[in-house]
Structure 1
Amino acid sequence: MIPTVSASGLTLRFGGTLALDDVSLRLGEGVTGLLGPNGAGKTTLLRVLATAVPADRGSFTVLGHDPGTTAGRLHVRRALGYLPQTPGFHQDFSAFEFVDYVAILKELTDRTARHREVRRVLDRVGLSDVRGKRIKRLSGGMRQRVALAAALIGDPGFLVLDEPTVGLDPEQRMRFRELIAQAGEGRTVLLSTHQTEDVAMLCHRVIVMDAGRVRFEGTPAELTERAAGRVWSSTERDPSARAGWRTGTGAFRNVGDPPEGADLLEPTLEDGYLLTLDAKAAEVAA
């Protein structure tokens, strides 16, 4: 894998909280999913990579540019598309006006060329028919697509998406997945999410974070494999299971260390994720 993004030893503390603890990673072309519980450091990592906040220690490059220098930081920002968890919409702007405003901030100074680019990205996310509509009158799914269009301005080589499907209904999530998959063709996308289903369906690679550290980095299949032989079915919740719940069939799905002779089930990526976090908890307890 030829890395678009290469980070080494990123460390950042907010007061008494170690938000990033010696984080190193490499991101290549395609969609990489970033999983972790609340407070894991996911959003902090995205903000550092987006040059919104500097790390206390460590370094990283984006497309060969070092944001530790003024010139390098400018190159990174020009090559970056960033969709934050809470986009700062100007509610009285139309969809076109908002994306055009972002295009101006990204130094697209030629008005004719800029407007052509704004129309291109709005068409890319399926909003051409409502580009004149005020953002405050758009649905939640449409607002997220406006934010994605703004992130796609200038055809960035590195796209950072923080919880882009949060609050969307199943149909909206499905359509947004399609847009993210298309965005990952020919560029690097880092997708932070709580939805393991999104990662399983979209991502070429996955990173699991907890307590500011990377706990796993590999393919979705490799994360799923961590749960092989450790998921089983029973008529009652097994008290020895790390996690267990009643499914729609009435049987219990248990994750952990199965008893001898247990009825083993095929693991999912979510199972591997839960066991990865459980292994970290056991390490801390020890």
Structure 2
Amino acid sequence: MTLTSATDVAVRVDGLVLRYGRTTALDGVSVTLGAGVTGLLGPNGAGKTTLLRVVATAIRPDSGAVSAFGHDALSGPGRLAVRRRLGYLPQDPGFHPSFTAFEFVDYVAILKELTSRSARHAEVRRVLDLVGLDAQRGKRIRALSGGMRQRVALAAALVGDPALLILDEPTVGLDPEQRMRFRELFAELAEDRAVLLSTHQTEDVMSLCRVVVVLDQGRVRFSGAPLELAGLAAGRVWTSDTRAPGALASWRTGTGAYRNVGDPPAGASLLSPTIEDGYLTLVDLRSTEGQR
């Protein structure tokens, strides 16, 4: 299946429920993924990593359905078919420190059933070059910086040119230049495949994502375009000379003025909202509803 537009559904998640003891990690989560980048936002413990692991076929939910490219991802044959078209970058890739960058990616390529040695090694060199590590491919993992290790893990996820990429905090440990390079790469990759990206970097969401999904307490609180999320804070962001009492957030900017999010006073000088402003407003609305 080749994705040609965002209307092509690569992955459909319906009513996922997953519990760890008395904790409900996912509570009826439903999302769809098409071509392009779908971003996951939410506080720590919201269920983002759990959702990624379910879609990546790493864990099974207690109930619900997951289909990818027409396969039931929760069945044995379907799970195998999905894994053959999947690239997954977890938070902790589990490096063997004695492996070189080349050896680690080559090991992943073997797991992905690339059996021809010459073709496999050519693919390993391709993906290491793609993430800017061609010159470091012979270095051992333990000798690489945190940012370089993250790039090795991304290279491993890209082996075999997967149709579905699942990325859990892929820009952690990268400097600003590396982050921009990765944005370029993700944008190019997402032109004809589905990318599910969990991040705390709201600038990554604004720069890359066609759709943003906000998870909180295991539930989908918002799903829509990044500008729609920012729009939730329209009329609720203003500037002032002093810190605004009662604001959801208020901080002094580099210009010396304060940026405030919340309920502005009459006559306030309003500002254009950002995704962060919309996120704060969404969390505040959820808290208010919970108190009713």
How far apart are residue 170 of structure 1 and its match? 2.0
Which residue of structure 2 lines up, in the alignment, with residue 242 of structure 1? 248
Which residue of structure 1 lines up, in the alignment, with residue 3 of structure 2? none
Which residue, 120, 129, 140 being the options, matches 1:134? Answer: 140
How far apart are residue 179 of structure 1 and its match? 2.4
Which residue, 269, 272, 284 being the options, matches 1:263? Answer: 269
Which residue of structure 2 lines up, in the alignment, with residue 92 of structure 1? 98
Please give the per-residue CA displacement for 1:150-201, whole angstroms capped at 9, x wherever unaligned: 0011111110000111232222322222222222221111110111111111
Q: Give the partner amino acid of 2:92.
A: T
Which residue of structure 1 lines up, in the alignment, with residue 233 of structure 2? 227
Matched, 1:203 2:206: no
Query: 8 Å contact 2:47–2:217 — kept in the other structure?
Result: yes
Which residue, 137, 146, 150 being the options, matches 1:144? Answer: 150
Give the total of aligned pairs: 286
Q: Secondary structure at the match of 1:76?
A: helix
Query: 8 Å contact 2:25–2:218 — kept in the other structure?
Result: yes
**What RMSD, in angstroms, separates the aligned Cα atoms of the two structures?**
1.1
Q: Secondary structure at the match of 1:58?
A: strand
Query: 8 Å contact 2:105–2:152 — kept in the other structure?
Result: yes
Alignment of 1:42-81 (within 5 A): 42-81=48-87
How far apart are residue 97 of structure 1 and its match? 0.6
Query: 8 Å contact 2:128–2:152 — kept in the other structure?
Result: yes
Query: Taking every aligned residue pair, what percent have the same amino acid on both sides?
Result: 69
How far apart are residue 52 of structure 1 and its match? 0.6
* Structure 1: tracts of 5 or more residues without a match: none
Q: Secondary structure at the match of 2:17?
A: strand
In the aligned structure 2, how far is the partner of 1:143 from the partner of 1:202?
23
In the aligned structure 2, how far is the partner of 1:64 from the partner of 1:239?
53
Query: 8 Å contact 2:166–2:197 — kept in the other structure?
Result: yes
Which residue, 277, 284, 287 being the options, matches 1:278? Answer: 284
TM-score by length of structure 1 reads 0.97
Q: Give the partner amino acid of 1:28.
A: G
In the aligned structure 2, how far is the partner of 1:124 from the partner of 1:175?
10
Query: 8 Å contact 2:57–2:74 — kept in the other structure?
Result: no
In the aligned structure 2, how far is the partner of 1:69 from the partner of 1:137?
40
How far apart are residue 90 of structure 1 and its match? 1.2
Which residue of structure 1 lines up, in the alignment, with residue 164 of structure 2? 158
* Structure 2: tracts of 5 or more residues without a match: 1-6
In the aligned structure 2, how far is the partner of 1:5 from the partner of 1:57?
17
Which residue, 22, 25, 42 being the options, matches 1:19? Answer: 25
In the aligned structure 2, how far is the partner of 1:126 from the partner of 1:184?
19
Which residue of structure 2 lines up, in the alignment, with residue 28 of structure 1? 34
Which residue of structure 2 lines up, in the alignment, with residue 116 of structure 1? 122
Q: Give the partner amino acid of 2:47.
A: G
In the aligned structure 2, how far is the partner of 1:86 from the partner of 1:68?
23
Please give the per-residue CA displacement for 1:210-247, whole angstroms capped at 9, x wherever unaligned: 00001000111111111111100111121131211111
Task: Please say which of residues 182-191 and 95-104 is displaced more in the overlay.
Answer: 182-191
Q: Give the partner amino acid of 1:209.
A: L
Matched, 1:176 2:182: yes
Matched, 1:5 2:50: no
Q: Which runs of 4 or more aligned residues in structure 1 lie more than 6 Å from their structure 2 counterparts after TM superposition?
A: none
Which residue, 181, 187, 209 being the options, matches 2:193? Answer: 187
Query: 8 Å contact 2:150–2:173 — kept in the other structure?
Result: no
Q: Secondary structure at the match of 1:204?
A: strand
